[in-house]
Amino acid sequence: MNQKKKDAGNSSSPLPGVVPGRYSRNLGTIGKNGQERLSASVVIVAGLGGLGGYVVEILARLGIGTIVGIDCDSFEESNLNRQLFADKESLGRRKATVAKEKILLINDRVNFIAVDDRIESVKDDLYAGTHLIFDCLDNAASRIFLQSKAKVHGIPLVHGSVGGWYAQVALVLPGCDLLSKMYGDFPDSAGIEHELGMPSFIPPVASGIMVCEGVKVLLGRSHGGSFLVFLDLLNNEFEHLTF
């Protein structure tokens, strides 16, 4: 049985028509029906490092019903400068396992499924019933692979990438192949973060925008088609491209 479907009826899920008090500060923006829609949503977060850690925490605090967190790495010392779940106690531990523990402390109503594996090795049935995918990966080849899976399964994808003073966020609707246009000539690229580094202030900026755009998709409030946003925080410049 699909793990997401098996766990969908766990006792920690909110009763139909009831919005827990923990979500009261969401309602002015999202509304009661919107909150219930988020509670019924299933999302995949691929990569649980600098971007992914922030993305899953924001999603959990929002009240997303099921979060599938995928990462095959362990925490190491160089992660301590910016990865939300990296601390002295988590060094050497698997990121997916630590993320699950942290999310349960934040919101035990969330069904967090930890997948300790490479995105290329994940079985196709994990995508079944998924409403949205977040790309928080760190290399072009894996990003393009994830986009291909999103396309096959008809799932919108929110992409994020950061490095130095810069961030980019994209909404990739099924069939757009935007990431192939962005990275296709550089399939072996490891990302600008490997050249420019990743200071602690850049992941929360990009992840907040990623989740904002993802929530719009889940609530049916997204405007237009696929797009790419580029942020230059050093010069306070912002560029928006549509596709």
What residues does each domain of the chain span? 3-8+21-242
pLDDT at position 6, please?
A: 44
Residue 25: CB atoms within 10 Å: 10
Nearest to 63 by CA among 95, 37, 102: 37
Query: What residues contact 106, with CB distance under 8 A and at least 6 apart?
Result: 57, 60, 61
Could you read off the pLDDT of 211-220 as tens digits, one per residue?
Answer: 999 999 999 9
Could you read off the pLDDT of 46-56 as tens digits, one per residue?
Answer: 999 999 999 99
Could you read off the pLDDT of 69-86 as tens digits, one per residue?
Answer: 999 999 999 999 999 999
pLDDT at position 19, please?
A: 82
> Looking at domain 3-8+21-242, which CATH architecture does it have?
3-Layer(aba) Sandwich (3.40)
- The distance of Cα 43 from the centroid of its chain, to the nearest Å, equals 8
Whether 115 shows a pLDDT value over 70: the answer reads yes
Q: What percentage of the chain exceeds 70 in pLDDT?
A: 89
Whether 17 shows a pLDDT value over 70: the answer reads no
pLDDT at position 13, please?
A: 44
Average pLDDT over residues 203-210: 97
Supply 230's token pair.
């580029």
Whole-model pTM: value is 0.91
Give the Å distances, CA to CA, from 194 to 33, 83, 98, 161, 190: 42, 15, 24, 11, 7
Could you read off the pLDDT of 141-194 as tens digits, one per residue?
Answer: 999 999 999 999 999 999 999 999 999 999 999 989 999 999 876 656 666 677
Average pLDDT over residues 97-103: 98
